Amino acid sequence: MRDIDQATTQEIRDLVYAFFAAECDVDRASLHDSMRIIEELEGDSLMFLSLLEKVRKRYGIGIELKTLARHLMKKPANTIGQVIDLSLAIVRHGDDVVNVEL
């Protein structure tokens, strides 16, 4: 398990916000943690997978995307805040994330 400092937490938060602002073509300032991705941003699950791939590559996580996605189906992320929390868990636990109850 990897310790995550405040700078990494902020970096992940910024990554998620920038991703949804770009993908949904909205002003980043209009986004907030409780915003519902599908209902309010008209996002979809493919966007989430694309974001997971960015997180996986950026933080050197070797687990296959399909394995990670299958594991995360147990705990769907509906809001931007939930996506941030899941992204933090993935970075914190790395390849061992599939052995962790999320």
The series of mean pLDDT values per 10 residues for the chain, 102 residues long, is 93 97 96 96 88 92 86 84 93 88 76
Query: In 3D, which of 54, 43, 53, 100 has the Cα closest to residue 77?
Result: 43
Q: How far apart are alpha carbons 87 and 66 in whole angstroms?
A: 15
Which two tokens mark 88?
């933090």
Q: What is the CATH architecture assignment of 6-99?
A: Orthogonal Bundle (1.10)
Structure confidence at residue 34 (pLDDT): 98
Q: Would you say 97 and 70 are in contact if contact means Cβ atoms under 8 Å apart?
A: no
Bridge partners of 36, per DSSP, are 79
Which two tokens mark 92?
């914190």
Half-sphere exposure of 17 (CA within 13 A, CB side): 15
Structure confidence at residue 63 (pLDDT): 86
Q: How far apart are alpha carbons 68 and 101 in whole angstroms?
A: 13
Structure confidence at residue 5 (pLDDT): 94
The answer to pTM > 0.85 is yes
Q: Would you say 15 and 54 are in contact if contact means Cβ atoms under 8 Å apart?
A: yes
Structure confidence at residue 45 (pLDDT): 78
